[in-house]
Structure 1
Amino acid sequence: MLDCEVKQVRNNIRYRLLIINNEKYLLDMGQSFLKILFPFTFWILPNTVYRIENEKDLTLTKTPAVKQTKTSYSSFGAGISLMLANLLGPLMDYFNIHTSVLVNSIILFLVILAAVFFRFYLSGKNKKKLEHIVNVKRLQKDKLWIWPKSLKFIFIYLLSYVFFSAFILVGFWVFIEIGNVMMLTFSLIFLLLSFLASGMSIKDGKAKVKFTKHLKAS
């Protein structure tokens, strides 16, 4: 198992720069929709990385590590949800539409489809942005496992994931049952945020990695 330093790629949320034994790799955080839906699988399944050998490419892509703030996202999300519930609770009935469960299910399907399309569009845009700087296809590929170094971070991240997932599912269920547009809107916003936040499973800072085929020589 090797030590790794993770940095964000400048102006591109899809990629991470990994520094392992003074070698530089690009990690593609948008290569699998499964990992976007279930971000903790970044820690379970191997990830494809691209070795950077050209110093010019490295200079154009790397950016100084951003100082992380200690925030409990689950607590923050819970606070926002409770505040919105108190403010909008008396008005929720006004946002009900009188449609059947079937119609609501179709509307929900189309909304989720649009959210997925938006996520793919944003991911593709970030990929093209990087390809203007680095031709990823010519880079040497490798596969590795990567784990956060902090167990506290893993616990908070999983707790936040469960909370937001439960909120989204409950919101979608409420829309299907009673056609409440406000719940659909909130759930959609949380879904889009969860898509974008999937990259936070590999944050800036220290991490542990292990190559699938062999360990790189120290």
Structure 2
Amino acid sequence: MDLSPIFISFKTAIVAIVFTFFIGTVSAYLIFRMKTRELKMLFNSLFTLPLVLPPTVFGFFLLEIFGVEQPIGRFLLDFFAVKVVFSWQATVIASVAVSFPMMYRSAIAAFEQIDPELFAAAQTLGFSEMKIFGKIALPLAVNGLLAGGVLAFARGLGEFGATTMLAGNIAGKTRTLPLAIYSAVAAGDWSLAQKYVLIIIVICLVILFLTEIFTKKTRGFNR
């Protein structure tokens, strides 16, 4: 059995979750602290859109951004000699793009569980927004953020559609576990496909178990 899809999947998901966790947490806090309700609704809709879009459609949008004939893709290629499409970096970009909404929604939910009076008291004491974020919001929302991070990691690990569109299915380079399962089935190798399926099921069960732990800690803390 080729183990490269497992290593590629984990490498991709680990690098992606670093970006997803940071961007998702900061974005969620900024939107959470917005005063204009209409703007919050707009950003919530925009940032959640990848959850409801078909992955291939979102992959098409990524191609429109990073394709070598598109402005950003051409700029990266001409000035940095970086071709995103069909590269391992493309698997990371696809993973970040599809897992971000899950992290964002989890972070928003975690911040909303904090007592609003704590924010008001901190403002009365002259805390800056950065200090409120670091001293109050993050410590109180940490378990919810970790639960969101674990779910986002799982989503990135299982990404298929957008990865196929942007990164392709190149053995030893961009072939992740979901793509390896697809390739094995397409080749009629059911035994190999079953092994890959069993591996990803075990991984997902462990991830869901960790999510339950963090979720229970959050509920216990807020009681």
| Interval of TM-score (by shorter of Structure 1 and Structure 2) | under 0.3
Query: Per residue, is there more helix in 1 or in 2?
Result: 2
Query: Per residue, is there more strand in 1 or in 2?
Result: 1
Provide TM-score, normalisation by structure 2.
0.23
